[in-house]
Amino acid sequence: MGCEIGCDPLYDNLRLTKSDIFSAFAFHALICFNSSVYVTLRKFGCKSMFVLRTIFGGEFVSNFAGINFIHRDLKSKEKILFIISHPDDECMFFGPAILNLTICKEKKIFLLCFSYGDYNQKGRQRKQELWQSCSFLGIPESNIFLQKISVLPDDPKRMWNENVIFRIIINYVETFHFDAVVSFDKDGISGHPNHKAIYYGLAHTLANESFPDYCSIYCLDSVNKFRKYSFILDFLFSICFSSNWFILPPSRCYLVKKAMKAHRTQYVWFRKLYIWISRYAYINTFSLLYANEAIFDLNFRGVCD
């Protein structure tokens, strides 16, 4: 069993608008072209990789059957903690990274979830759904830490206490000696306040110089709606503009969808559509969080938000 300590909001800010759907289907008109490009890369693997290495540099990696990332620091991490706000965040946003990392036997992947997703009084069901989802993603129950704290309710209208988050994260990192923590960036992908609170909790750890030197923080990049609902077509932008990226091979994409289906209480029509057209079901890009950036965001978030 996972470790327990102590309806996810319907992601109103994630609900697809007409403009979102229009943008997504406009992109999907190019799927045939994208598929032909992918097949070409597979068919002419060595030659195409030589060209891409020439363009993007010697560290370019594109192994469609395994891990797809470049950054040496991230690649060298062996004990990694993913931090999410609610059950289903792990597959809706972090699936490609988790799946690419869990296939490496030398890496140990852990998940810290800050709530039961009890917004609609379905916390007990959602806890079981989280276990099942993680089984598809390759995270054992013993590596799942599930929090239930009264001051951190699952509520889309409430900002969580960042000092509480800060202390909990520090405790886990120091207790288990994680060498990397992965979570949301300041925009929280969907703009959800609970997602953003985790980022600012992490920012506090760096600003207060409380974070261990041996551990690095990586934030999942938020992108505009045009890219967000662009399916796998966003891969060119991702490999060009990010040094930490994961792309799922076609043979493993179904696992993200199976993990999402495991969240039966949340598997409504717009999430079914989301898990097919969102780039986060196929691609993850991350940015390393530095102390000066964290301090800047803490000081100016009132203006930026």
Task: Say how far apart CA 193 and CA 119 lie, in whole Å.
Answer: 14
Reported as a pLDDT band with limits 50, 70 and 90, residue 15 is low
- The strand ranges marked E within 7-150 are 79-84, 108-113, 144-147
Kindly report, residue by residue over 158-208, the tens digit of the pLDDT. 889 999 999 999 999 999 999 999 999 999 999 999 999 999 999 999 999
pLDDT at 239 over 50: yes
Which of the pair, 233 or 84, is modelled with greater confidence? 84
Give percent of the chain with pLDDT exceeding 90: 58
Q: What is the pLDDT of residues 29-64, one digit of tens each?
A: 444 344 444 444 444 444 444 444 444 443 333 333
Rg of the chain (C-alpha set): 19
| Amino acid present at 221 | D
Q: What is the pLDDT of residue 303?
A: 42
Express as a percent the part of the chain with pLDDT over 70.
Answer: 74
pLDDT per position as a tens digit, 220-236: 999 999 999 998 889 88
The beta strands (E) that lie in the chain are given as 3-5, 79-84, 108-113, 144-147, 180-184, 216-220, 245-247, 283-288
Predicted pLDDT at 73: 64
Q: What is the pLDDT of residue 2?
A: 63
CA gap 91, 136 in Å, rounded: 10
Domains of the chain, earliest start first: 3-304 (3.40.50.10320)
pLDDT band at 300 (very low <50, low <70, confident <90, very high): confident
Distance CA(192)–CA(211), nearest Å, equals 25
The confidence score (pLDDT) of residue 201 equals 96
Q: What is the pLDDT of residue 5?
A: 54
> What is the C-alpha to C-alpha distance for residues 256 and 91, in angstroms, rounded to an integer?
6
Quick one: tokens of 11? 């992601």
Whole-model pTM? Answer: 0.78
Q: What is the pLDDT at residue 1?
A: 57
| pLDDT tens for each residue of 149-166 | 888 988 888 889 999 999
Compute the distance between CA of residue 284 and CA of residue 61 in angstroms, rounded to an integer: 15
